[in-house]
Structure 1
Amino acid sequence: MDHLFQQLLDHAPDAILIADRDGTIRFWNHGAEQMFGHTAAEARGQSLDLIIPEKLRARHWEGYYRVMASGRTKYTTGLLTSPGVRKDGSRLSLEFSIVLLRDAQGDLEGCASIMRDVTVRWQREKELKQRLAACESGAPDPAA
């Protein structure tokens, strides 16, 4: 059964990554390679800053270290949304879930994230909101 789990992790189309308590990337699957443009060899051992837009890093690390210290997060259910950054510097919109990872004694070792690129959907929703606002205000449709 272990080989089936390994295949799931390695070949899932979503990005699956594991970071330790310090925020160092320890696992990076093929989906993460495709999404962010960094190979597993390039990403492993790097800080999560690799995929976090610079202006959001301080806020991210404040929350990350708070979770690592307390061992608790309110984000273990539902999806989080956040922008990310690819190797080429382009931005993407992400939805992701968090799994806290513990050792055999229950001590927090880090966390895993399962991420999906929702950039196309986010852009489409933004355009629809703009068109709706234009219709409601009587302004010409920006898409026309």
Structure 2
Amino acid sequence: MDETLAARLLQQAPDAIIFAGTDGIVQAWNAAAETMFGHPAATALGRDLDLVIPDQFRDAHWKGYDRALAAGETKYRGQTLPTRARRADGSEFYVEMTFAIVKDDAGTVIGALAHCRDITERFERDRQQRRRLRELEAEIERLRGPATTP
């Protein structure tokens, strides 16, 4: 593939795309990642992934990252993973991520690729719907009154 085309695809992709090497250092950060996470590429490149990982998830993230790189495969291949991420201002939000382990021509793992999509609105809407459903179920139970046994 033409390098210019590959660069355009990366930069113009609608989802945030992040690539980090085996050391967890960000090597690719597209325009959608800049918008979503609030870090310009110049700030994100060369930093580790803790840049976007909330503190409470870091330990689990790095264990999973190292395990996937060592195995050369992620257990989330072909799946979306909803999780929380952190913006440049420190606020957390919900994202849906897909992952791939990237290998060179010899099959050696060189890092991990993540595609990220902000799902905060959908997550909050679903949460409100679940809450409302619980309220309605409780109201139905209240209207039925106490259960009687024959």
Q: For 2:77, what is the secondary structure of its paired residue?
A: coil
Name the % identity: 42
- The one-letter code sitting in structure 1 at the alignment partner of 2:131 is Q
Q: Name the Cα RMSD after superposition.
A: 1.2
| TM-score (norm: length of structure 2) | 0.89
| TM-score (norm: length of structure 1) | 0.92
- The one-letter code sitting in structure 1 at the alignment partner of 2:18 is L
After TM superposition, give the deviation of residue 5 of structure 1 in Å: 2.7
- The one-letter code sitting in structure 1 at the alignment partner of 2:129 is L
Alignment of 1:38-117 (within 5 A): 38-117=39-118
* Match of residue 142 from structure 1: none
Q: For 1:138, what is the secondary structure of its paired residue?
A: helix
Kept in 1, the 8 Å contact 2:68–2:101? The answer is no
Q: For 1:52, what is the secondary structure of its paired residue?
A: coil
- Stretches of structure 2 lacking an aligned partner (at least 5 in a row): 141-150
**Counterparts of 2:11 and 2:22, CA distance in 1:** 22
Larger Rg computed on CA atoms? 2
- Stretches of structure 1 lacking an aligned partner (at least 5 in a row): 140-144
- The one-letter code sitting in structure 2 at the alignment partner of 1:84 is A
After TM superposition, give the deviation of residue 76 of structure 1 in Å: 1.3
Q: Which runs of 4+ in 1 moved over 6 A?
A: none
How many aligned residue pairs are there?
A: 139
Deviations 1:59-106 (A, max 9, x none): 110111111112122111121111000001111111111111111110
* Match of residue 25 from structure 1: 26
Kept in 1, the 8 Å contact 2:73–2:100? The answer is no
**Counterparts of 1:68 and 1:16, CA distance in 2:** 18
Task: Decide which moves more: 130-139 or 102-111.
Answer: 130-139
After TM superposition, give the deviation of residue 13 of structure 1 in Å: 2.3
- The one-letter code sitting in structure 2 at the alignment partner of 1:114 is H
**Counterparts of 1:15 and 1:73, CA distance in 2:** 19
